[in-house]
Amino acid sequence: MPNRVLIVDDDPEIMEWLSTDLKLSGFYTETASDGLTGLQKSQNGNYDLIILDVMMPRMDGFEVCKNLRRSAKTKDIPTILLTAKGTLEDKVIGFGSGADDYLVKPFDIQELLVRMRALLRRTGDKPSCREEVLESGDLKLYPDSIEVNINEKLVKLTPTEFEILYCLMQHINQAVSLTTLLNEVWGYDSDEDVRMVRVHIGGLRNKIEPNPKYPQYLHTVTNVGYRLVPWGE
């Protein structure tokens, strides 16, 4: 059964191009021409992935993404933002809204397909493959329910932040390279996406660190990547 993809973009030419090429690549697609309609469709449909333009009438892609993450029906659906803006600030806003990936226009359809398939592979993992609860002191990660608790309190992470933390907890107290994070979390390795990892790390620190400006647990390893030290040490 083909993966169901919702494309939300106010540019009819881009929407038609994406829909046609994705269908040729084996996907089932539906479309919406503004953010609010896209959000409404997401609640009524059963989609495996959502592609969102940022600048749209009625509701922009950032707001749509935030609403997707608030809804129990859509909070775990992988989402890719499309935008003409590629500044670091825009990416920070995009990932902060809950997006899993970010593509700057113009882009090649093959690049989009690589990112889509990587996200679908990640979210398609069977829960039985990752049932074991990961623990470090008062930090507990539950792969089957995609939840994180610190000091018995639920910490709300985006799907990508959860996957980064899962990867780091599998290698607790070890330096994990940027290449490893890109391969294990996104399913591909690209020098252009190193900044994307750093943005997500910043978001993760804001949620798990007592003082994000002075990380106590999620350390940067210069010229390598990151290390999560045992909780409470």
Among residues 91, 123, 155, the one where a domain terminates is: 123
Cα separation of the two ends of the chain: 48
% of the chain exceeding 70 in pLDDT: 92
Closest to 227 in 3D by CA, of 159, 158, 180, 160:
180
Q: How many domains does the chain have?
A: 2
CATH number at residue 64: 3.40.50.2300
Average pLDDT for 132-155: 88
* 233 inside domain: no
Domain-embedded: residue 105: yes
The mean-pLDDT minimum among 60-64, 182-186, 227-231 falls in: 182-186
| Domain assignment of residue 197, given as a range | 130-228
Q: How many angstroms separate the most distant Cα atoms in the chain? A: 55
What percent of the chain is predicted at pLDDT more than 90? 50
If phi over 0 gives left and psi between -120 and 50 gives alpha, with beta otherwise, what is residue 90? alpha
Among the residue ranges 38-42, 176-180, 191-195, the one predicted with the least confidence is 191-195
pTM of the model: 0.74
pLDDT greater at residue 80 or residue 199: 80
* Average pLDDT estimate for 21-47: 94
pLDDT at 126: 44
119 plus 134 within the same structural domain: no
Same domain for 113 and 148, yes or no, is no
Residue 186: DSSP 8-state: I
Cβ contact 52:82 at 8 Å: yes
The rounded distance, in Å, linking the Cα atoms of 75 and 105 is 25
pLDDT of residue 25: 94
